[in-house]
Copies of this chain bind each other. A is one copy, B any other.
Amino acid sequence: MLGFPASFNGLSNQLITRGKITLSHSKPPDSSSTDGTGSMFPSILTRYGQIIQESLISSIPSSQLELFSPLRYHMGWETPIGEHIQNPSNQGKSLRSALCLFASEALNGDWKQSIPAAVAIDLIHNFSLIHDDIQDGDITRRNMPTLWYVWGHNKAILAGNVMHALAYKTALTLVNKGISHKKAMDTSRLLAESSLSMIRGQCLDLNFEKVTEISVEQYLEMIRLKTGTLIACSLEIGALLASANHIQMRRFSEYGGHIGKLFQIRDDVLGIWGDSKKTGKATANDIRRKKKSLPIVYAFNKAKGQALISLNRIYQKESVTEIEVEEVLNILDQLEAQQFASSLVAHEAELAMKTIQNSNIQPWALIEAQELIEFLVLREY
């Protein structure tokens, strides 16, 4: 076990395969240990899963006050009428929280001290999802009706705000875990700053809905802000709490930035070409929703003649027919939009690999950080 983190010792039900470690008991309940392509579910996402869920549950008051019930529903723990769900299958994967704890552990910190920060990040992420769903008019998330669809816009705005305030309240409890007041404050500051960047990304995203002339660079800047900064912040905070070494904090943050971008672009690919059995969403769903994801942005930039006329016509319409969905899929095919998006995923993966290799972390942590990249590049759901 030499070279593996202390927290691994004493855990009985370990499964070590090809240098990859999966703890079957802490595996997210809605996933198997393989993703269907034979690749293992990465250790970073499994090892902290259970403790993150337990800590998240504690961070949202179990009070019967009407204020908190929609939050528990959104997290997948309760039905809309407040009935407890025994084995929730619709909760999030807590990627951001896991990355925060991983960064702390990779730098030899006591990762359990970082739990309140990991939870706070997850709450910020979920606050943004609740408000995003209102803005996008999305009616399902994780196979369930969205919060606003159940409670209406007004209550959903409040629920997001409650989640937002709870995030800051939770971050401050770091001091109860032995973290200094200074570090707890720096955590709050990083949270607030990355939230502002995230909201800036949401603002750009809203603007993109109304225009078709978006360059690939503009799109990448939008996802850097909307998705990348909070993921980067998760790793930066984890590093801060473990070591406060600024060079390491920056490297982890950079690694997170690349992870965030590749995660989002892979999401864009799955939103169009994903297997509905694996994603839980219909194939070409993002075309039906007229979402300006990377393949579409690319196509608008590359298309000429009849293809461009068709794209303009279809994306100006109120709703899209199935024949038009096929038309867009054909145009994307001709322009090799999927290959383009996948090449960007591969590019970000390469940058993430290089960054983490230069970070001087222990071998086990390097393996896990690389394993996560591979998983995110290949994931099919």
Contact = CB atoms under 8 A, between A and B. Distances in A.
Interface of A: 65-67, 131, 134-135, 153-155, 157-158, 160-162, 164-166, 168-169, 172, 175, 180-182, 184-185, 188-189, 191-193, 195-196, 199-200, 202-203, 206-207
Given A165-B196, A168-B168, A158 B188 contact: no
A172 B188 contact: yes
Given A134-B157, A203-B67, A162 B192 contact: no
Contacts of A161: 131, 160, 164, 195, 199
Q: Which of A153, A155, A168 has the most CB of B within 10 A?
A: A168
SS class, residues of chain A in contact with chain B: helix
Given A172-B185, A196-B169, A199-B165, A157 B155 contact: no
A185 B175 contact: yes
Contact of A200 (B65, B153, B188): B65
Nearest to A174: B185
B67 A200 contact: yes
A161 B203 CA distance: 11
Contact of A188 (B65, B166, B188): B188
Contacts of A192: 165-166, 168-169, 172
What is the total number of copies of this protein in its complex?
2
Given A155-B206, A181-B181, 8 more contacts: A67-B196, A131-B158, A153-B153, A161-B164, A166-B192, A168-B168, A169-B193, A185-B185
B188 A181 contact: no
A90 to B, nearest CB: 24
Rank and list the top 7 A-B pairs by shortest CB-CB distance, nearest first: A181-B181, A169-B192, A135-B154, A165-B195, A168-B192, A181-B182, A165-B192
Contact of A185 (B66, B131, B166, B181): B181
13 contacts: A65-B200, A67-B199, A67-B200, A131-B157, A134-B154, A134-B157, A154-B206, A161-B195, A161-B199, A165-B196, A168-B168, A172-B192, A185-B188
Contacts of A160: 161
A42 to B, nearest CB: 31
Contacts of A166: 192, 196
A157 B169 contact: no
Contacts of A169: 189, 192-193, 196
Given A169-B192, A182-B181, A196-B165, A158 B203 contact: yes
Nearest to A169: B192
A80 to B, nearest CB: 16
A275 B145 CA distance: 47
Nearest to A127: B161
Contacts of A191: 168
Contacts of A181: 180-182, 184-185
Could you say which of A65, A131, A135, A154 has the most chain B C-beta atoms within 10 Å of its C-beta?
A154
A363 to B, nearest CB: 36
A16 B182 CA distance: 44
Contacts of A162: 196, 199
A67 B135 CA distance: 16
Q: Which of A134, A153, A161 has the most CB of B within 10 A?
A: A161
B202 A158 contact: yes
A202 B196 CA distance: 24
A199 to B, nearest CB: 5
A161 to B, nearest CB: 5
